Homo-oligomer: A and B are copies of this chain.
Amino acid sequence: MAEYLPTEPYRGTRDFLPDEMSVRTQVFHRLYDVLERYGYQRYDGPQLEPVEIYEAKSSQEIVSQQLYTLTDQGGRRLALRPEMTPSVARMIAGNAGKLTFPVRWYSHPNCHRYERPQRGRVREHWQINVDLFGSAGTAVEVEFFELIHDMMGGLGATSDMWLLRVSDRVLLNALLTRIVEVPEDQVRVTANLLDRWEKVTDDALAADAAGIGLSDKQFARLGEIVRDGTAAVAELPQELREQSRLMQVLNSSAADLVTFDPLIVRGFDYYTSTVFEVFDTNPENRRSLFGGGRYDNLVGLYSAKEIPGFGFGMGDVTLIDFLNTHGLLPEPRTNVDVVVIPTRETLFEPARRAARLLRTAGMRTTTPLEVRKLGKELSRADKAGARAVVIVGDEDWATEQVTVRSLISGGQRKVSLKDVTSVARAILDDHHV
C-alpha cells in the first residue's frame, strides 16, 4: 500500500477554503473600512523578528513557553512574531525622523504562539492591530474607545452584545499600595491574582492570595476593590485620581463608552497606564474578545526618542466565534456570475471571446474546459451560483449569434456577441431577459 502524506494542516493552524475565506475577507474589510475612516493607515512587517525584541518586553508566558524560534544559517536567533506590537514599535523608532506624529497605523498580520489548541486558542492566528503613536493625551483613549464602538458596530454588533471593560495600571498601583497596602515589589503578583480572579474558584484564589503573602484582611480589601472599583478609587487622594487617564475619561462625555473594572490587567509587561478588554456579554460565553492599552515606553527600547503609544490587537478566532454566536457572519460570496458554454470543441474560441467581453464588463465568468452534455453543464453552472449562461452552439454561431439564458427565470434570447454583456447584466440585475 502506498504511503500518503497527511492532508491535515499542522496542529493548531488552519486551512481557509474559499467559502470560509470569503466570510473572513468580508468581516475584515468592514474593519479596514472603519479604520480608514478614522484615518488609520495600513502597514505590514516581517513574519520573522529577532528574538530579543520579545525578550525585552512581551509577557513572560509568551517568551518562555509560546515562542516559535529558529536559528538561521548565519546564526541569528529569530522568532515567528507572537504579536505585532514589538514590530510596530521597532518600525516607528526606525522611521521616527520622517513621520508626522500622531501616527495612526493598522495591520493584519498572522502571529504564532505555541499553545495547546482548544476552543478559541490556535497556534497561528490573524490579528487586526491598531496603534497610535505620539500623543500622551487622554484624547487618544477616547478616540480608541469610539473607534472600537464603530468597529463593533461595523460588524453589526449592538452594544448589548459586548462590554468594554477598562482599568489603569497607575490607578491600580495606587489602589494596591494604598488601599490593600501591598508593598511595591508585590504589586505585580497581586495584579496577576486579579487577572485570574474570574478564571479560578474562590478557594484557589484564596490559596493563591495566601501564597503570595496577602493577609486575610488584605485579601478581603482586594475583594472590595473588585466588587466596587469606583468606591475604592474615591478613597484615593484627589491628586492621584485627577492624574489618572481613566478617571479623566470617566469624568468626560466619553464615560458611557466604557466600564471601569479593576479586574482588567492584561498580561503584557509593556502596558503603562490604560488597559482594556472587550468582552462578550453572552452569559454562556463571557470571554475576552480582544484588548489593548497604553504602552508609553516601548519605542524607547529602540531609540532615545520617547514616543508614547496606544494600541490593541483583535484576534480572528474569538472575533469570528463571537460573530457566529450572534448570527452576524455574512454569507460567502464565491459564486460565479455567468458561465459561457461551448457545445463543441470547435466553439471554444468564440466562447472565450464572449467570456472576455463579460469579464471586461466586470462579471465573474467561467468557461468549461471540456465539452459535456448541455444539461450537465447547466446544472453545474447552477451549482456554481451562476445566474446567467451563454450557450455557444453551432447553429447560432453560424450567424455569429449566441443564446443567453437566465438560470433564474429560465427565459432565453438569441443575441449577437456585442449584446451579450448588456443582456447578461440585465439578468444579473434581476430584470427579465
Contacts and interface: CB of A to CB of B under 8 A. Distances in A.
B4 A21 contact: no
Nearest to A86: B5
A73 B113 CA distance: 11
Contact of A47 (B80, B100, B366): B80
A151 to B, nearest CB: 12
The copy count of this chain in the complex is 2
Nearest to A73: B114
Contacts of A223: none
A38 B146 contact: no
B4 A302 contact: yes
Nearest to A104: B366
B38 A366 contact: yes
Contact of A42 (B25, B123, B252, B365): B25
Interface string A6-33: 1111110111111001100100000000
Interface stretch (A165-173, A183-191, A356-364): A356-364
A234 interface: no
A101 to B, nearest CB: 10
A147 B123 CA distance: 36
Interface in A91-114: 91, 93-95, 100, 102, 104-105, 110, 112, 114
A426 interface: no
B42 A22 contact: yes
Contacts of A365: 37-39
Contacts of A348: 139, 142
Contact of A369 (B43, B143, B352): B143
Contact of A6 (B7, B50, B104, B140): B50
Contact of A142 (B21, B42, B352, B364): B352
A148 interface: no
A358 B14 CA distance: 38
A336 B39 contact: yes
A6, A46, A139 pick with most chain B CB within 10 angstroms: A46
Contact of A49 (B10, B17, B254): B10
A48 B124 contact: yes
10 contacts: A4-B303, A5-B301, A7-B95, A10-B76, A10-B78, A21-B42, A34-B359, A37-B363, A39-B365, A47-B124
A68 to B, nearest CB: 6
A90 interface: yes
A41 interface: yes
Given A25-B42, A47-B47, A70-B70, 14 more contacts: A5-B302, A7-B302, A10-B46, A10-B50, A11-B74, A18-B43, A21-B43, A21-B44, A47-B124, A48-B68, A48-B112, A135-B369, A137-B370, A146-B352
A5 B47 contact: no
Contact of A17 (B46, B69, B91): B91
A14 to B, nearest CB: 7
Which 6 pairs, one residue from A and one from B, show the smallest C-beta to C-beta distance? A7-B94, A13-B46, A18-B41, A39-B366, A70-B70, A37-B359
A155 to B, nearest CB: 15
A329 interface: no
